[in-house]
Amino acid sequence: MKKIILSIFIMMGLANLSHAQQGYQNPIIPGFHPDPSVCRVGEDYYLVNSSFCYFPGVPLFHSKDLVNWEQIGNCLTRESQVKLTNAGTWGGIYAPTIRYNEGVFYMITTNVSDKGNFLVHTTDPRGEWSEPVWIKQGGIDPSLYFENGKCYLVSNPDVGIYLCEINPMTGEQLSESKRIWNGTGGRHPEGPHIYKKDGWYYLLISEGGTEYGHKVTIARSRDIDGPYEGNPANPILTHINKNAQNSPIQGTGHADLIEAHDGSWWMVCLAFRPQTGSHHLLGRETFIAPVRWDKNAWPVVNGDGTIALQMDAPTLPQQPFVSKAPRTTFNTEKLGPEWIYLRNPKQENYILNGKTLRLKATPVNLNSMDSPTFIGRRQQHIDFTAATSVELQKGQPQDEAGITVFMVNHSHYDLFIRQDAKGQQSIVLRYQLGELKHIEKEINIPQGKVQLQVKGNNEFYSFGYSTTGNKFQEIAKMNTRYLSTETAGGFTGIILGLYAVSASSKAQADFDYFDYQGNE
Please say whether the dihedral angle defined by the alpha carbons of residues 18, 22, 28 and 30, taken in this order, is positive or negative: negative
pLDDT at residue 17, as a whole number: 37
Asked whether residue 435 falls in the same domain as residue 299, the answer is no
Check which CATH number belongs to the domain holding 507 and give it: 2.60.120.200
Asked whether residue 301 falls in the same domain as residue 339, the answer is no
296: left (phi over 0), alpha (psi -120 to 50) or beta: left
Within a domain: 7: no
Check which CATH number belongs to the domain holding 72 and give it: 2.115.10.20
Asked whether residue 154 falls in the same domain as residue 298, the answer is yes
Within a domain: 350: yes
- Burial code of 238-258, b = ≥16 C-beta within 10 A, e = fewer? bbbeeebeebebbbbbbbbbb
Q: Which backbone phi and psi does 310 adopt, to 5 degrees?
A: -105, 110
Count Cβ atoms below 10 Å from residue 261 Cβ, excluding itself: 14
Asked whether residue 345 falls in the same domain as residue 286, the answer is no
Read off the pLDDT of residues 82-119 as tens digits, 9 standing for 90 and up.
999 999 999 999 999 999 999 999 999 999 999 999 99
Count Cβ atoms below 10 Å from residue 221 Cβ, excluding itself: 17
64: left (phi over 0), alpha (psi -120 to 50) or beta: alpha
CA atoms within 13 A on the CB side of 451: 16
pLDDT at residue 10, as a whole number: 37
Residue 423 is classified by DSSP as -
Q: Which of 65, 141, 190, 399 is catalytic?
A: 190
Active-site residue, 223 included:
no
Asked whether residue 363 falls in the same domain as residue 485, the answer is yes
| Domain span at 483 | 327-518
Within a domain: 318: no
Residues 501 and 221: their CA atoms lie apart, in Å, by 57
pLDDT at residue 423, as a whole number: 85
Within a domain: 14: no
Asked whether residue 175 falls in the same domain as residue 285, the answer is yes
Within a domain: 16: no
Q: Which of 35, 141, 207, 391 is catalytic?
A: 35
Active-site residue, 35 included:
yes
Q: How many domains does the chain have?
A: 2
Low-confidence ranges of the chain (pLDDT < 70): 1-20
Asked whether residue 178 falls in the same domain as residue 113, the answer is yes
Residues 171 and 132: their CA atoms lie apart, in Å, by 9
Asked whether residue 305 falls in the same domain as residue 357, the answer is no
Q: Yes or no: say if 181 and 226 are a contact pair by the CB < 8 Å rule.
A: yes
Q: Yes or no: say if 248 and 274 are a contact pair by the CB < 8 Å rule.
A: yes
